[in-house]
Amino acid sequence: VHRIEPDPTKKNPADFALWKKRDKDEIGWDSPWGYGRPGWHIEDTAIILTHFGPQIDIHGGAIELTFPHHEAEIAQAEAATGKKPFVRYWCHTGLLTVGGEKMSKSLGNYILIRDIVKKHDPEALRLMFLFSHYRSPIDFKWSSLESSNSSLNSLYNMVERLREVEADEELSEEEKKLEDYYENFKKNFYSCLDNDLDTPRAVAELFKLASTINKILDSQERLYALLKFKLLSEIERISKIFGILEKKPAIEAGLLESVLEILIDVRGKLRIKGEFELADQIRDRLREIGIILEDIGYQTRWKLRR
């Protein structure tokens, strides 16, 4: 029993059409194979070869297009150009379902983004998708979106606490542990993203970091200035990757500048005391996150690396 009866004109049931015959009253072109039009698969291949060349780095699409559409694209492009691979990385996304059924216009079970954002923060929707791997199917539920909204609020609360905590000139033992944890976090977080964009694990690492930061802030009223600046800078970097935590209070720019001025003041005092190794460490670590210090006598200016 076949879902579709085999075509007796095909040498192999898996063969696909390069050219489809059409009646003269339909849109088409004359060709050595008769009047017709290109098959669906070769349309996409022709677009890519025309606009991007014989090889591309990333090609995306729904998981249901893996076969035959994308396999057909590969066969056509590599046969035509002789270059392999046609695509270096394939990103096939899982289907979005509602009540276990594929979301589609024909079923009338689709939900518009504009209707969602009337009730929920758009970042909550992004976070809901990030909780699942892009290759996995997602069954949309309003309860899942509400849960993501709560999770998003908890992250914003942590960021707000981190912004508001007073900066300190000394690094405590507990803060040293947080600094070590932060360095490990970066390795784990970006390792997850390097592993086929494993966003569920990456987001889990972010929430563990948030929990660790909250524990420190529960136990003390001040935080080492350089550590505070590094954490806020990393969170901003992550916000640009994920498209969350992007809402910033108007005072933020002034706050970060104030933290930086404190670091420069601390470094100046260290230089006066002759503690050049520690002063250089502050300068070098700021350079790592894109802030350049320029010493002119005993005055220090800073600028962002371009």
**With bands split at pLDDT 50, 70 and 90, how would you rate the model's confidence at 119?**
confident
pLDDT at 104: 81
- Asked if 50 and 64 count as a contact pair (C-beta separation under 8 A), the reply is no
For the stretch 154-205, pLDDT in tens is 999 999 999 999 999 899 999 999 999 999 999 999 999 999 999 999 999 9
Q: Where are the beta strands (DSSP E) in 22-55?
A: 36-38
**Per-residue confidence (pLDDT) for residue 251, from 0 to 100:** 47
Mean pLDDT of 91-107: 89
Cis peptide before 85 (omega within 30 of 0): yes
- Is-contact 78 55, C-beta < 8 A? no
pLDDT over 90 (residue 288): no
**Does residue 165 contact residue 228 with C-beta atoms inside 8 Å?**
yes
Q: What is the pLDDT of residues 143-156, one digit of tens each?
A: 999 999 999 999 99
Domain regions of the chain by residue span: 19-93, 251-306
The phi, psi pair for 12, rounded to 5°, reads -140, 135
- Per residue in 53-67, pLDDT (tens digit) is 999 999 999 999 999
Please name the amino acid found at residue 43: E
Counting other chains too, the contacts that 167-170 makes at CB distance below 8 Å and 24 or more residues apart are: 167/222, 167/223, 167/224, 167/225, 167/228, 167/258, 167/259, 167/262, 168/222, 168/223, 168/224, 168/225, 169/224, 169/225, 169/262, 169/266, 170/224
Q: How far apart are the first and last CA of the chain?
A: 64
Question: Hey, what are 150's tokens?
Answer: 């709560």
Confidence class of residue 46 from pLDDT cuts 50, 70 and 90? Answer: very high
At 266, list the tokens: 């601390």
pLDDT of residue 260: 85
| Both structure tokens of 246 | 């992007």
